[in-house]
Amino acid sequence: MSSPTSQVDKSGLDQQPAVKIALVGFGTVGTAVARLLYARPGQPSLKLTHICVRAAERKKVNWVADRVCWTEDIEEVLRSDVAVVVELIGGLHPAYDWVRQALEARKSVVTANKQLMARHGSELLELARRNRQKLAYGASVGGGIPILSGLAEGLAGDRLLKICGILNGTCNYIVTRIEAGAAFAEALREAQQAGFAEADPTDDIDGFDARAKLVILVRVGLKAEVLPEDVLCRSIRDLSSIDFEYAHELDCTIRQVSRAELRDGKLLVAVEPTLVSRRSPLAAVAGGENLILSHGEFGGQSVFSGLGAGGNPTAVAVVSDLLHIVRYPSSGLSPAEEPAVTPGEVSSDFETPQYLRLVVKDSPGILARLASILSKHHINIDAVLQSAGQDKAALPFVITLEPTKSSQVEAALAEIRKSSFLLEAPLRMPILR
């Protein structure tokens, strides 16, 4: 990090030298970070000197100090004496180039950008190490929940083996609305109207947003490096309220669950809709909240929960990263910056009980046919559930399976999908008890 300037922030309560910072991006999070910096004059060690954003002239606000330089030109920030660049534009481009350039210009970087840190994190952390700078990304997972510092520092004494969580508030809002009886399309529309979901909600509902966060959690918590595209990602689009009815009969509910487990050097990892026991903390996560469970070999389970998004919670995480950099400027690598290793194998082939929902045109012999295919694939049926009063012309019923590998079930489903009695593609979900 460039050395703190000897200049003193006159708005501060003490006379510590101020560390100059630049905000790059002035949207939901950038604005909230600036407001937080001004709202806490007890943090005189941080001095906002630059705001770099598109159409800077139009974005100017009167509550930012006059001395702050507004610019559209990242070069102006890179040439300046700011010590820390806070990247809050999101996306891969130009964020990737700008973060690289900032580190090469010997500036530390704080970012909330999960896509950037999932895809290029290890390379950027290495670049930061080579340039003796910090790259902090606590806001990239879980919004205001101190999950990355919790895993990296709070649980540093343990060997973490499993991480499991609800990492996308939009998805959680939608699944809880479907649970309350809304159809998927209606729940999505409500999420968009409530400002939870983007106009293009693909990243959230198809699991890509949660996958990026899971990749980062795996790096920091399990010390394993995995590429986003190597992580199985399954959408919540096919969920319907009948699935919740059957899940409740099994004393479960359904959530989009991201989970990773290290076993004998192999990494199991997936993001998918999952039945979770109603007694699990995952089942209690309401609306847009996030919750992460970690499991350590020695310390057992820890739970982290809170607001996983939103300007203010995310700004808290960004400012906490800034304060960490200011307080420990030359303490070497922080635990979240330590290199992770590539696991021997990456797979999504978890072995769990499974839920299969089939919609069929009812006729005699269907169950026998399904049982025969499952048995051919060495899969044991646990139970068959059929709610009373369903339309026999399009009958949704459920088969639960004893613990089985996902790959085994998928092989059986490939055969089941060819059956003429099926009216819709079967829906498979793992069951976590």
The secondary structure element, H or E, covering residue 399 is strand 395-405
Q: Which is nearer to ligand NAP, 143 or 343 (CB)?
A: 143
Q: Which is nearer to ligand NAP, 310 or 343 (CB)?
A: 310
Are 287 and 247 in contact by the 8 Å Cβ rule? The answer is no
Smallest gap, in angstroms, from Cβ of residue 95 to ligand NAP?
7
Alpha carbon distance 365, 367 (integer Å): 6
Residue nearest to ligand NAP (CB): 27
Tokens of 121: 């994190």
Question: Which listed residue (213, 266, 376, 392) is catalytic?
Answer: 213
Smallest gap, in angstroms, from Cβ of residue 52 to ligand NAP?
6
Q: By the criterion CB under 6 A, which residues form the site for ligand NAP?
A: 25-30, 53-55, 88-90, 94, 112-114, 139, 143, 309-310, 314
Q: Which is nearer to ligand NAP, 31 or 176 (CB)?
A: 31
Q: Which is nearer to ligand NAP, 307 or 399 (CB)?
A: 307
Longest Cα–Cα distance of the chain, Å, equals 84
Give the three-state DSSP class for 278: coil
The radius of gyration computed from the CA coordinates of the chain, to the nearest angstrom, equals 24
Q: Which residues contact 287 (CB under 8 A, 6 or more apart)?
A: 169, 172, 173, 176
Smallest gap, in angstroms, from Cβ of residue 317 to ligand NAP?
8
Q: Which is nearer to ligand NAP, 93 or 392 (CB)?
A: 93
Q: Which is nearer to ligand NAP, 312 or 408 (CB)?
A: 312
Smallest gap, in angstroms, from Cβ of residue 277 to ligand NAP?
29
| Residues pairing with 384 in the sheet | 399
The CA-atom distances, in angstroms, between 193 and each of 33, 185, 188, 208, 221 are 25, 12, 9, 21, 35
213 is catalytic: yes
Alpha carbon distance 115, 203 (integer Å): 10
Alpha carbon distance 173, 169 (integer Å): 6
Alpha carbon distance 156, 149 (integer Å): 9
Tokens of 320: 């906490």
The one-letter code for the residue type at 15 is Q
Alpha carbon distance 422, 199 (integer Å): 33
Residues with catalytic roles? 213
